[in-house]
Amino acid sequence: MFEACADPKAIEGLTWGICYLTSAKHLQFYWSFVTVLLLLAITAPTALGMGFLGATAARSHIAPVSWLGKIYIWMVRGVPDIIFFLFFVIALDQIIEYSKSLFVCQDHAWPWQGLEFRVCPEAKVPLAKSSAFWHQAYGFMLAVVTFAIVFGAFVANVIYGAMQAVPRAQLETAEAYGMSRAQVFRRILVPQMWVYALPGLGNLWMILIKATPLLFLLGVKDIVYYARELGGSKTQAYEYPHGDWRLWYFLGLMVFYLLFTRVSEIGIARLTRRLSHGQATAAGEALRKAAA
Amino acid sequence: MSMTCWETIQAYGLRSIGIGENLLPRSEFTLCQQFTLIGSGLIWNLYFGVLALTFGFFLANAIALARAARNPLIRKPADWFVFVFRGSPLFIQFFLAYEALVLLPKGGIDILGVHLDTAWTTRAWAGALFVLFLNTAAYSAEIFHGALKSIPKGDLEAAEAYGLTGWKKFIRIEWPTMLRLGWPAYTNEAIFLFHATTLVYFSGFPAFAQKGDALYYANYFADKTFNPFIPYPIVAFYFILLTLVVTFVYGRVNARLNRHLPSNTRSKIRLRPNLIR
């Protein structure tokens, strides 16, 4: 990156350190933090949307819809989420390729034959001839969808509980005023449920942050991947030879996560305070008394 | 050539702890093989979960009390311990611990003339168990600390009116009440600790001679057969059973902790997702 770094073997001390930390591989490492933030930025709203749909479905008066919603909510309860992560990332890929094969392939043989998953080359996603970028992007997209499905179920659980927590009298009053079921839902239930949902959602946000290293298991080149790559001991064949530094790289990741969760915690506490203003809850009452 | 299911169970039922057939199945991959081997791996999930919870319970009590201490020299380290283990991903904690343990001198350490072997610490059964122990202690300490703070004032005043003070007040009033109030949340912690044990063999700790946990074998089958739709539901099934057992056992303890209360004021155990750490 810098002129002085042209020959890493000739430099030492601080210059070596600066050159080392700005090597091409390290710049990729720093970018991978952006990958993590990108995952959070896409997953959080998607999971919120899925969760909202799931909770709404679970409350439905149409039995099959309600069952679907409830199964979605309950599926993540008794089973470790990492199983879902490992499962969905392959299952989604195979489902996508199988669906595509129904349209683009000549023969429609059942793809799970013997010990392989076989579809015709045209049905591969992305196609074998696609660039490395598309393979990476597709892998990342599968990871995002997987995260959204799993966390959507957690969110659905929280929102379902929050909807149940809205006082029944509020809804009955609205019905007495002649509002339709949809109106009650839109005007009364949804605006009031957020204050009940917020502690659970805040908790989920922290969990989501702490789940991001699992990207590594899904085959995405994330911060864990680079920490292992960069930290592993490098012989003289490398530009910057060094011993086993993985411990330090993982310490760095640890600090990153601790800071991230701490900042989030403070942010959530502020948000809770703001949302509690004027609410008929203990926190709202405390705020009112403090102001008076 | 193909084995009956009973033979498969004999060959692979204890494979995860190194007893039975040495080679894992390489062809066929029958349902029976998958059920047996994944079930065999569950031994490790039980091992990690039961031991970490048992040891962690005691440390958690100590840390919860330390956090309630007035002396900052006792309180602050406990606060930091909980912050570090709850604020960072378990996955990173595993990696960090493994890399740290690998750096220990291979030949062992000599302290005051006593030779300490170090190689075993990098093994999952020791290293990962240690991380899980500290991790669950931190999460449980937070639960117990919260419960300690929410003991009704009236209970403590009543204890003093009866002349109970100090240690006697603690062991007869405060501690049982703390456990009772914290137990539903602690039940969830136990369930999710069992779930967290599936991370061990995916986070740096190698599985020697293919001796792994339930998810390790499920992953093996999914890799070999290119069919995730069979092994993962099997391991999910096992974990649902495990969750039911944990809920039942902790429910019995909860019933005992609440036995003096009228039935309508007892605290019920509700599953709340705490999930990945």
Instruction: Give A202-213 pLDDT, tens digit per residue.
Output: 889 998 999 999
Q: Which residues of A touch B (CB under 8 A)?
A: 76-83, 86-87, 90-91, 94, 112, 115-117, 154, 157, 203-204, 207, 210-214, 216-217, 224, 227-228, 231, 244, 246-247, 250-251, 253-254, 257-258, 261-262
Q: Which residue among B93, B199, B225 places its CB closest to the CB of A82?
A: B199
Tally DSSP H helices, then E strands, for chain A. 11, 2
Identify which of B219, B239, B240 has the shortest CB distance to residue A86.
B219
Domains and CATH numbers, chain B: 41-265 (1.10.3720.10)
Mean pLDDT along residues A174-180: 93
d(CA B213, CA B216): 5
Name, of A106-115, A127-136, B136-145, the range with top average pLDDT: B136-145
Q: Which residue from B92, B199, B275 is facing A257, i.e. has the nearest CB?
A: B92
pLDDT band at B93 (very low <50, low <70, confident <90, very high): very high
For residue B272, give the chain A residue with the closest CA.
A77
- B275 pLDDT more than 80: no
Residue B207: per-residue pLDDT: 87
Of residues B215 and A109, which shows the higher confidence score? B215
Inter-chain contact B93–A210, Cβ cutoff 8 Å? no
What pLDDT score does B12 carry? 87
A130-158: per-residue pLDDT in tens?
888 888 889 889 999 999 999 999 999 89
Amino acid letter for position B137: A
Taking the complete model, does pTM exceed 0.95, yes or no? no
B211: region left, alpha or beta (phi > 0 left; psi from -120 to 50 alpha)? beta
pLDDT tens digits for A68-84?
Answer: 999 888 887 778 889 99
pLDDT at res. B116: 77
Least confident of A125-139, B71-85, B117-131, B182-196: A125-139
**Is B273 in contact with A258 (Cβ distance < 8 A)?**
no
pLDDT at A1: 55
Tell me the pLDDT tens digit for each residue of B15-74.
888 888 888 888 778 889 899 999 999 999 999 999 999 999 999 999 999 999 999 999
Q: Is B83 on the interface with A (CB under 8 A)?
A: yes
| Residue B171, min C-alpha distance to chain A (Å) | 32
The alpha-carbon gap from A18 to the nearest alpha carbon of chain B, in Å, equals: 24
Task: Kindly provide the ipTM of the predicted complex, given to two decimals.
Answer: 0.87
Is B239 part of the contact surface with chain A (CB cutoff 8 Å)?
A: yes
Q: Is B261's pLDDT higher than 70? A: yes
The per-residue pLDDT for A234 is 83
Q: Which domains does chain A have, with CATH numbers?
A: 12-291 (1.10.3720.10)
Tally of CB atoms within 10 A around B167: 8
| Phi-psi map region of B226: left, alpha, beta (phi>0 left; psi -120 to 50 alpha) | left
In chain B, the residue whose alpha carbon lies closest to the alpha carbon of A255 is B88
Looking at residue B274, its pLDDT comes to: 47
CA distance between the termini of chain B: 45
Q: Specify the pLDDT at position A8.
A: 75
